[in-house]
Amino acid sequence: MNELLTAVFSGLGQGSIYTLLALGFVIIYKSMGVISFAQPAFMMSGAILVSYLSPRLGFWVAVVLGGLVVAAVALVVERLAIRPMVGKAVFVIAIITIGVDIIVRVVAGAFVGADPRLVGDPWGLDTWSLGGVQVQQRHVAAFVAAAVIVALLAAFFRSTPIGLAMRAAALDQEAAMAQGVNVGTVFATSWAMAGFLAAIAGVFAAAGNPLDQNLWIVGLAALPVIILGGLDSLLGAVVGGLVIGVVEALVRNYHSDVFPDLATNTGSLAPYVVMLLVLLVRPYGLFGTKEVERV
């Protein structure tokens, strides 16, 4: 039982990171109809940037500042590389985002260096023990951070003019334009938000261990999450992220009991298997759009 709970908590922590990443994918998808494969690079840049900033500014200031800088970079990327391509095939734009991903990743990766770098988080690998259940502090922190960010996003999309305009433009771009919504502003805002979210996710993904060049691979795990949750659903990103995080942790934990002879851990396959199973039942993912229709 304790072992199960330990795995669930670690899964929720990892799942929170997936959620933050997936939210960025979904926000961009909703505004432009494009999947941005640049997210993993923004995630890695965030972690690297924070590793440079936190010794000087302290962890928390570094996280916020790092997130904002990556958001600004995403904004510039959108303006220079993506906006001029609007109107081209979605496929073409997706490929461009892969190009952006590689460039940003190579540039950022150059700063990782040979010495081990830390993001400077206060948790390391410390745990709390809750009645025999070991809970890693960094997982709790990731979960709390994700919860706060999700609440802020909900308020943003519900109450602010630009948030509302973004939802409107996602539903019907031309009708939103007719209300005077500037679609360029919507695109830019969505990229900046996705950049910020990816950077924060990167920091939590890197917490506890030295940075390594393969950190961005975590970003790819968000892909099955968005398919599972529904490409255009923010709720799907939240639920999907947590579900996949937990399933992955459980499989990883019980792997050796089930497949004693298999050396590679099946945990990393779990997200894709879950995704496939859900798609068999629900083609648009858990919360993907079935259009609201008057019957």
Partner 1 sequence: MLSVQNLEVVYDDVVLALRGVSLEIPDDRIVALLGANGAGKSTLLRALSGMLDIHDGDVRKGDVTLDGTSVARLSATAMAGRGIKHVLEGRRVFRELSVEENLRVGAHVARKDLRANLVRVYDLFPRLVERKDQLAGFLSGGEQQMLAIGRALMSGPRYLLLDEPSLGLAPMVVAQIRDIIAEINHQGTGVLLVEQNATMALQIAHHGYVMETGRVVMDRPAAELLADDDIREFYLGLGAEGERTSYRDVKHYRRRKRWAS
Structure tokens at 31: 């505004």
Q: Which is nearer to partner 1, 82 or 247 (CB)?
A: 82
The CA distance from 143 to 128, in Å, is 15
Under the criterion CB under 8 A, does residue 1 sit at the interface with partner 1?
no
Under the criterion CB under 8 A, does residue 257 sit at the interface with partner 1?
no
Minimum distance from residue 286 beta carbon to partner 1 (Å): 17
Residues 97, 38 contacting (CB under 8 angstroms): yes
3-class secondary structure, 176 = helix
Minimum distance from residue 130 beta carbon to partner 1 (Å): 40
Q: Which stretch binds partner 1 (CB under 8 A): 91-99, 104-112, 133-141, 176-184?
A: 176-184
Under the criterion CB under 8 A, does residue 181 sit at the interface with partner 1?
yes
Under the criterion CB under 8 A, does residue 293 sit at the interface with partner 1?
yes
The region that residue 87 occupies, defined by phi over 0 for left and psi between -120 and 50 for alpha, beta otherwise, is left
Q: How many residues bind partner 1 (CB under 8 A)?
A: 21
The CA distance from 137 to 119, in Å, is 15
Under the criterion CB under 8 A, does residue 68 sit at the interface with partner 1?
no
Residues 83, 189 contacting (CB under 8 angstroms): no
- Per DSSP, the chain holds a count of helices (H) and strands (E) of 12, 2
Minimum distance from residue 132 beta carbon to partner 1 (Å): 46
What is the distance between the terminal CA atoms of the chain, rounded to a whole angstrom?
Answer: 48
Under the criterion CB under 8 A, does residue 174 sit at the interface with partner 1?
yes
Residue located via tokens 């993001």 = 119
Q: Which is nearer to partner 1, 154 or 250 (CB)?
A: 154
| Binds partner 1 by CB under 8 A, chosen from 179, 214, 261, 263 | 179
CA atoms within 13 A on the CB side of 109: 13
Footprint (CB under 8 A) of partner 1, residues 153-172: 161, 164-165, 167-168, 171-172
Minimum distance from residue 101 beta carbon to partner 1 (Å): 28
DSSP annotation of 132: T
Sequence-distant (≥ 6) Cβ neighbours of residue 197 within 8 angstroms: 20, 21, 23, 24, 27, 149
Under the criterion CB under 8 A, does residue 180 sit at the interface with partner 1?
yes
Minimum distance from residue 93 beta carbon to partner 1 (Å): 16
Under the criterion CB under 8 A, does residue 291 sit at the interface with partner 1?
yes
Binding site for partner 1 (CB under 8 A): 161, 164-165, 167-168, 171-182, 291-294
